Amino acid sequence: MNRKKSASKKSFISKLVGGEIFLELIRKKFLYIILVFALLLMRLTFSYRDERMLIKIDRMRDSIAIKSMISQELETELQQLGRPSEVYRKIKQQGLKLEQSRDVPGVIYIEKEEK
């Protein structure tokens, strides 16, 4: 009985070292191994594609934020240039002989000519 156990241990070890157990496992589960490999490959492909898409989205968000800041800066500059005091200062700097009107603005009516 002792010899059977030691013989079975030796045969198991020799099969393990020789690779027979591994080959037997591969033969039995070949389709399962192919399926797992295919699923793993699909997961890697999709995760790579998703990661690239997330990088593009982050770049677009950064670009939108920068363009928004530029737009706000230009809007502020335009508001500054359109102030009456700024317009009056520029007229004085250029040496133009324009004066500020002191009259209240009124409505001007223009009659259309009939042909």
Q: Could you tell me if residue 23 is inside a domain?
A: no
Crossing angle of helices 84-94 and 30-81, rounded to 10°: 60
pLDDT-derived band of residue 61, with 50, 70 and 90 as boundaries? very high
CA distance 66 to 74: 12
pLDDT at 13 over 90: no
Is 8 a domain residue?
Answer: no
58 is a domain residue: yes
Q: Is residue 64 part of a domain?
A: yes
Regarding pTM above 0.75, the answer is no
What's the rounded Cα separation, in Å, for the pair 112 and 115? 10
Residue 4 in this model has a pLDDT that exceeds 60: no
Would residue 4 count as lying in a domain?
Answer: no
Provide the number of structural domains found in the chain. Answer: 1
Please indicate, yes or no, if residue 111 is contained in any of the structural domains: no
| More confident call, 66 vs 83 | 66
Q: Is the pLDDT of residue 2 over 60?
A: no
Beta-carbon contacts of residue 26 (< 8 Å; ≥ 6 apart) = 33
Inside any domain, residue 2: no
Residue type, 3: R
**Contact call for residues 80 and 86 (beta carbons, < 8 A):** yes
User: Which ranges of 1-115 does DSSP label H, i.e. alpha helix?
Assistant: 2-18, 20-28, 30-81, 84-94
pLDDT at 22 over 60: yes
Residue 115 lies in a domain: no
Show the domain range for 38. 31-95
Tens of pLDDT, residue by residue over 75-96, are: 999 888 888 888 888 888 888 8
